A = this chain, B = another copy of it.
Amino acid sequence: MARNSTSEFKAVILAGGSGERFWPLSTPERPKQFLKVFGGESLIRQAVSRLKGLVEPENVFVVTSKSLLKATKRELPELPSANIVGEPMRRDTGAAIALSVGLCGGGTMGVFSSDQLVGDVKGFQAAVKKAVAVAAKQDKIVTLGIKPSAPSTAFGYVDPKTGRFVEKPDLAKAKAYLKKGFLWNAGMFIGRVDTFRSAFAAHAPDLLPLCGGVKMNRLSATYEPLPKISFDFAVMEALSREGGVDVVPGDFGWDDVGGYLAFDRYYPHDADGNVVDGDCTVVESSGSICVSKGPRVAVLGASDLVVVATKDAVLVVPKSKAGELKKIVAKG
């Protein structure tokens, strides 16, 4: 039976995550993709749901870490159990995507994240369909370039005219990139499986063995010697320099939910500009984010502060340092 290009399309959702940016709501045992604080359902559940109609469940793969395998399968019961694979150790996105190539085997594939938000699912699906069509007829990897909402220094950029990638800029450069029409590199890549395989062969031969498919009982031995390197750095940057990258622009309310400041984007504010979620009393404070999933929290006279409590742990950090949680999580 003939299948159209979309039905041959396979999707891989990368679901590693160390649980640092939303500590203590998220932890290494329950990282960001399991958070249910944005949009009601967990982020990974939303990542799978937004592929509905675009990819058959049997063509959706999830690459997570071995320690999260059980929790991930529990969260995504509609996927075939064998489609959810646990990496034995962290080797960054280079290895995870090479492993994905092996899982997909053939056809066209797309790589997505498990811990991002998309406001406009129809727009997302339209962009992916377009990228699949573009990728199917040429030997290039297509990246979804997100229309920037601000000159962010948190993302790498891609020039949609040339497919050239540039690293996370400082603010001045970011502003210049916006003027030039550069787009955010959101880490969503679409291409023919053989195109991915060739790209690994050319630019990251260390990782090529994974692209051929690995028996699960051999995974530890295969992973152990692999370099820790991102797919962007290992493959895409080199590929973009030689014209092997195409860009499909997207403007579908993409948000990487980078950290606690996301609460300011998705939660209502009180009269003093505070976000208050859970059993919190916030008095004589403004611009603070106070979240409790456990004990009662009282904040008095403390502005622009992030206070988050669970029954196990409490975080107190000024908004200006909310991106530096690594410093305390590492000490725990």
Tell me, rounded to whole Å, the shortest Cβ–Cβ distance linking A177 to chain B.
29
| CB-contacts of A300-332 with B (<8 A) | 300-302, 305, 307, 309-318, 320-321, 324-325, 327-329, 331-332
In the docked arrangement, what's the CA distance between A329 and B300, Å? Answer: 10
Find out whether the CB atom of A332 lies under 8 angstroms from the CB atom of B296: yes
In the docked arrangement, what's the CA distance between A311 and B295, Å? Answer: 6
A331 in contact with B301 given A295-B314, A309-B295, A313-B295 (CB within 8 Å): no
In the docked arrangement, what's the CA distance between A328 and B312, Å? Answer: 23
Candidates B295, B300, B320, B328; contact of A317 at CB < 8 Å = B300
| Size of the chain A interface, CB-CB below 8 angstroms | 36
A78 on the B face (CB < 8 A): no
Q: Max chain B CB contacts within 10 Å: which of A23, A301, A314, A328? A: A314
Nearest B residue to A309 via CB reads B314
Tell me, rounded to whole Å, the shortest Cβ–Cβ distance linking A189 to chain B.
34
In the docked arrangement, what's the CA distance between A1 and B296, Å? Answer: 59
Task: Provide the A277-310 mask, 1 if CB < 8 A to any CB of B, else 0.
Answer: 0000101100000001011111111100101011
Find out whether the CB atom of B301 lies under 8 angstroms from the CB atom of A318: yes
Nearest B residue to A322 via CB reads B300
Q: Chain B residues near A324 (CB, 8 Å)? A: 300-301
Find out whether the CB atom of B320 lies under 8 angstroms from the CB atom of A295: no
Q: Chain B residues near A313 (CB, 8 Å)? A: 295-298
Candidates B23, B302, B312; contact of A295 at CB < 8 Å = B312
Contacts A24-B298, A297-B313, A302-B317 supplied; 9 other A-B pairs, CB < 8 Å: A284-B321, A292-B314, A295-B311, A298-B315, A298-B317, A300-B327, A301-B318, A301-B320, A305-B316
A-B contact list, 20 entries, CB within 8 Å: A24-B298, A281-B328, A281-B332, A283-B327, A283-B328, A284-B327, A292-B314, A295-B314, A296-B312, A297-B313, A297-B316, A298-B313, A298-B314, A298-B315, A299-B317, A300-B316, A300-B324, A301-B318, A307-B314, A314-B314
Name A's B-contacting residues (CB within 8 A): 23-24, 281, 283-284, 292, 294-302, 305, 307, 309-318, 320-321, 324-325, 327-329, 331-332
